[in-house]
Amino acid sequence: MVDMAELITPERIVLDLRARSKRQLLQELAELAARDTDIEASRVLAALLEREKLGTTAIGEGIAIPHAKIEGLERILGGFLRLAEPLDFEALDEQPVDLVFFILAPAAASTEHLKALARLARLLRDPELRARLRSESDIGRVYELLASGAQSHAA
């Protein structure tokens, strides 16, 4: 099972990020992920953009979960970015996105990748958790919310 407390670390949480476009947001995300891997940010960005071409990763309710498989990545990892101003992410519900979770997985880790996506989507159905993620100002507390929320929503 994917452990949310390990998938999303406090070092990969950014609050009130300012991004003017979807591409700029994905660039910021790629740079954040690259700090924690041996993979160049440009490769992460290319993989994320390629995945977005298949269809938006916005799941509604102001949430997006950009994700990609990366050749050479050794372990699955994720992060969370809260935007200062919501962005159009081409969501099916047409709501702009302000809560962004990302998941990067090794190229061969399809099952783990899908389990992490499903777990995050299930966790984020909780409107109270979404409200708290939008209002909390402390990164440590956001991390605790995600880790403890994942525990209480485990299935």
Pairing of strands 63-64, 58-60: antiparallel
Per the residue annotation, which of 12, 22, 43, 67 is the catalytic one? 67
CA distance 133 to 48: 23
The reported pLDDT for the residue numbered 108 is 87
pTM recorded for the entire structure: 0.91
Report the candidate in 62, 61, 81, 93 with the shortest Cα–Cα distance to residue 19: 81
d(CA 52, CA 47): 9
pLDDT at 133: 96
Spatial separation of the C-alpha atoms in residues 10 and 119, rounded to whole Å: 19
Can 67 be counted among the known catalytic residues? yes
Q: Which two tokens stand for residue 52?
A: 């977005």
Q: Which residue ranges form the domains of the chain, and what is each CATH number?
A: 4-152 (3.40.930.10)
Tens place of pLDDT per residue across the chain (155 aa): 567 888 899 999 999 999 999 999 999 999 999 998 889 999 999 999 999 999 999 999 999 999 999 999 988 999 999 999 999 999 989 999 999 999 999 998 878 878 888 888 888 889 999 999 999 999 999 999 998 865 554 44
pLDDT at 67: 94
